[in-house]
Amino acid sequence: MAKKVLCEGIEAELPPPPKVNLDDIEMAKLSVGEKKHDAILDITTPVSYENERVGYIRMGISLERIREKVNKRILNSSIIVVIFISIGLVICFFFSRSLSKPISQLLEGVKRIGQGDRSYHVKVQNKNEIGELAIAFNQMIESLKQGEDALKESEETHRGILESMLDIYYRTDLEGKLILMSPSGRYLLGYDSVEDVIGRNLINEFYYHPNEKEIFMRDLMEHGVVKNHEVALKRKDGTLVIGESNSHFVYDKTDKPIAIEGIIRDTTDRKMAEEEKKRLETQLQRALKMEAIGNLAGGVAHDLNNVLSGLISYPELLLIDMPEDNPYRKYILKIQKSGEKAAAIVQDLLTMARRGVSVDGVVNLNTIIREYLVTPEYEKLKSYHPEVKVETNFETGLLNIFGSPIHLSKTVMNLVSNAAEAMPDGGKILISTKNCYIDKPIKGYGTVKEGDYVVLEVQDNGTGIPSEDLDRIFEPFFTKKVMGRSGTGLGMAVVWGTVEDHKGYIDVQSAQGKGTAFTLYFPVTRKKLVMDKSPSPIQAYKGNGESILVVDDVEEQQEIASVMLKKLGYSVSCVSGGEEAIEYMKDNSADLLVLDMIMDPGIDGLETYKRILEVRPGQKAIIVSGFSETDQVKEAKSLGVGQYIKKPYILEKIGLAIKEELEKSKINGHFGSIKK
């Protein structure tokens, strides 16, 4: 039980305090005095007893001390907060500086790297996360620099490879427009720089043959790659180069083709070498064939010459003393003409065998052609081909050449005859000449001597020569002409042999249905043309009883020479070989020897003359042979032999040759032989 204080010093027992509901508090207010610090908390609440209100309790509490304590607490807290905030600001300031400086350095590094400066490095000030970031950043810069250096080195390496490679590397778009090309490309295509080529269409502008583009693109589309594709490229100056292309598509990530890339290798030299090898092989085969046939023809021709000598020489001797009105004269002339025709065939055989052409005179092709156009052979040709018209185009002032008039005339005749045969329904043949300077190869020849040439061209607008026959037209006995009308099949072989013996060149251009052009090149001589002498009367080359020794292994030739020389007034002796001639000269003398160059069996004319000189120094002689002037003949001439006379014997030629040689002896004050 609580005690009740009634007044000061008086206490009384009170019953237990009743339960007080706070909601029953009727009034609690804060009274503030005149001064703010005089604040009092006034609380009034009713007091009830046995559910009967018995009074009120009013209590006033001064808040001054509480306020002082609160204010003090607030002040202390504020001071503490300010201190902590200040400390925090200071810490944040220094912390932000420690963060912002390396970040600023990183930002500066990013800017410098973006500007291309790879030398910038961030300073590492501590080993925290920022420091690790700076280290990683510096490592990134170093790796980037190394990568760029490696890329630069790789680019320089690839650029060096591209600049030094002989093959052409290229890349084009799908239409063929050049995007990239190695420097070797501009050299091959003949341009001043790669920039002049970039942007041009490789396929449309540089492929020489239009169909090659279709073939290339077809193979590329079918297989995605083209290997060892031969392509002809056109240079800036229009000339042709041959290349070998290996190309493929370039694909993107979706396997869609976006470009064409490849290598072109210049194979022009290799191609030319292959063609030259093929040409040489063909030429070798032809040469072997010609040699085999030539050896056969040469041997036959030599024997035929000996047989034909009688058909030419004996009629000539008979005609000398036969009156013009003799009824047999015309028959003898026919015999002589037949012999001459047969001899012409023999000469063709010898020409084919490369044993019958003597190129030792200055001639003019204009003269050769004009003389042919008035021959009986040409008139006969016109009668066979009346619808063929022959035109000429001669260059005024045509230069001279060294040549054999007979063989050059035969060459012109064969070419014109071939042209006429190629025009069964008529047409035009153009014979032209011109002066020409050659400084580049001629088709079919590996090398051509640079210099001045006379050009003979025989062109027709006939049927042309089939391509499969072009390589055979110069073969002996190869012909597709009318049998019995067009000769022996030796015509073009004679043309070839004549050109070769004249150290010339020949080019043939032909297209079926359009015609053929034979172009012959002969080297020029600056020597002047010597006009032919008119036939000399027999008195001009008759002898005066001088002694002549005829050395020949064929008895018929001995007899013909003996009859002719006796007819000319010489004293003639005959022997049948070189050994016999040497023995004869040991015991006898002769003013002049008539030496056959080829004698079988036994020693030839050159060796015979050498040995006779040992017995008879200064011995005079002339050489006779059915073949052309060989190196042996030239050597004999260097030893003192006079003229070279070709069989069959012609009275005037052998007579003039002997007369000239004997006259030399008289001028020197003695005859050639030393008499005992």
Tokens of 423: 């025009």
Kindly tell me the sign of the dihedral angle through the C-alpha atoms of 10, 14, 20, 26: negative
187 with 164: CB under 8 angstroms?
no
Instruction: Residue 497: name the closest of 310, 290, 224, 232 by CA.
Output: 290
Residue 284 · residue 297 · CB < 8 Å: no
pLDDT tens-digit map of 227-256: 888 888 888 888 888 888 888 888 888 888
Structure confidence at residue 1 as a pLDDT band (50, 70, 90) = very low
Which among 649, 640, 646, 647 is positioned nearest to 668, based on CA atoms?
640
All structural domains of the chain, each given as residue ranges with its CATH number in brackets, are 24-62 (no CATH), 165-266 (3.30.450.20), 280-346 (no CATH), 357-525 (3.30.565.10), 539-667 (3.40.50.2300)
pLDDT score of 676: 35
pLDDT tens-digit series, residues 480-525? 655 445 555 677 878 888 888 888 888 888 888 888 999 999 999 8
Beta strand ranges found along 351-482 (DSSP E):
361-363, 388-393, 400-403, 427-438, 451-460
Residue 237 CA to residue 532 CA, distance in Å, equals 50
Over residues 640-644, mean pLDDT = 88
558 in Cβ contact with 486 (< 8 Å):
no
Partnered with residue 595 across adjacent β-strands are 551, 623
Whether the pLDDT of residue 2 is over 50: the answer is no
Give pLDDT, residue 582: 92
Tally: H helices and E strands in the chain: 16, 22
Residue 672 DSSP symbol = S
Q: What is the reported pLDDT for 595?
A: 92
**pLDDT for 369:** 93
Choice among 19-33, 143-157, 295-309 with the minimum mean pLDDT: 19-33
DSSP string, 161-192: HHHH-SSEEEEE-TT-BEEEE-HHHHHHHT-S
Q: How far apart are CA 348 and CA 409, in angstroms?
A: 12
Confidence tier at 361 by pLDDT (50, 70, 90):
confident
- CB proximity list for 27: less than 8 A, separation 6 or greater: 42, 43, 44
**pLDDT at position 523, please?**
92
Question: Each residue of 528-547: pLDDT tens digit?
Answer: 876 655 566 777 788 899 99
Mean pLDDT in the chain?
79
What is the band of 302 on the pLDDT scale with cuts at 50, 70, 90?
Answer: low
What φ, ψ does residue 6 adopt, rounded to 5°? -85, -45
The pLDDT tens digits of the residues spanning 174-229 come to 888 888 888 877 777 888 888 888 888 887 888 878 777 788 888 888 888 888 88
Tell whether the model's pLDDT for residue 14 goes beyond 60.
Answer: no
pLDDT tens sequence across 62-120: 777 777 888 888 888 888 888 888 888 888 777 666 666 667 777 777 777 777 676 66
pLDDT, residue 440, reads 73
Q: What is the mean pLDDT of residues 325-348?
A: 79
Q: What is the CA radius of gyration of the chain?
A: 62
Cβ-defined contacts of 103-109 (< 8 Å, 24+): 103/130, 105/134, 106/133, 106/134, 106/137, 109/137, 109/141
Arithmetic mean of pLDDT, 121-138? 69
Whether the pLDDT of residue 325 is over 80: the answer is yes
Phi-psi region of 91 (alpha: psi -120 to 50; beta: other; left: phi over 0): alpha
pLDDT mean over 592-614: 89
pLDDT (average), residues 304-310 = 74
The pLDDT of residue 315 is above 80: yes
Q: How far is the CA of 64 from the CAs of 29, 39, 230, in angstroms?
A: 15, 7, 116
Query: How much is the average pLDDT of 445-453?
Result: 77
